[in-house]
Structure 1
Amino acid sequence: MKSLKFKLLVTFIFLIVASFSVMAFILFNSSKTIISSYIEESALEKMQEYATYVELLQNQVYDSASLVYNSDVLYNWDRVHLDENSTGGAKMLANIELSEYLTQVTNSYTPLANMTVYRLPNLWISGENYMNRNDSFTDEPWYVDITTQERYWIPSSYDRVELVKGNTNLMVSMTMPLDTYNPAGADSLLKVSVTESYFLEPLERLHLGETGEIYLIDRNGQMLLSGQKETIEAHRYAYLDELKSVKASEGRLFRTNEDGETEMIVYKRLAKTKWMLVGIVSEKDLYSELYKLRKTVFVIVSILLLVSIIVTLVFSHGILKPLNSLVAAMRHMKRGDFNQAENRMAHETSSTTEIAFVIDVFKNMISQLRQYISKEYQLTLLKQKAEYKALITQINPHFLFNTLEMISSLALQNRGKETSNMILSLGHMMRYSLKISDEFVYVREELRYINHYLDIIRVRYQNRSTIELNIEDGIADLRIIKFIMQPIIENAVQYSSQHRDQIMVTIDLARSEHHLHISISDNGPGFTPDQKYQLTHQIMKQMQTQQYEDKERQIGLHNVLLRCYAVYGDAFYYEIGTSRFGGAEVSLYVPIKEDEQHD
Structure 2
Amino acid sequence: MIIIRGLKINSLKKKILLWFVVISSIVVFFHLVVFQQWISSIIQEKSDSYFRETVRQIGKRVEMQYQKIDEDVNKIKNNQVIKNYLKDIENDRVNFNIAKFKITKEIFKLSNLDMIDNIYIIPVNYKPMNLYYSSPIFEIDQQTRKILESFDEHKANDVIWSTETSPLKNTVMMFIHDNGELLGLLRVDVSEKILKQMDEVQLGYEGNIYLVKDHKVIFAKNRDLINKSKTILSQISGTKVSYLLDYHGWELIGVVPDTEIVTQVQEINHILLIMVLAILTAIFIFAMITARLILRPLKKILGGIEKVQQGNLDVVIEDTQNDEYSTIIHHFNYMVEKVNTLIQTVYKKQLLNRKAEMANLQSKLNPHFLYNTLDMIYWMLIMKDDEQTGDVIRVLSDILRYSITHQDDFVTVGEDMYQLENYLHIQSLRYEEKLQYSFHIDPSISEKKIPKLLIQPLVENSIKYAFREMKDGGKIQIIGYGEENDIIFNVVDNGCGMSKDQLELLYKKMSQKEEGVGGIGIWLVQQRIKYFFGENYGVSIDSSINQGTKITVTLKKRADFKEEYWTETNYSETNNLIKRGEDIA
TM-score range, shorter chain: 0.3 to 0.5
TM-score normalized by the length of structure 1: 0.35
Q: Which has the larger radius of gyration?
A: 2
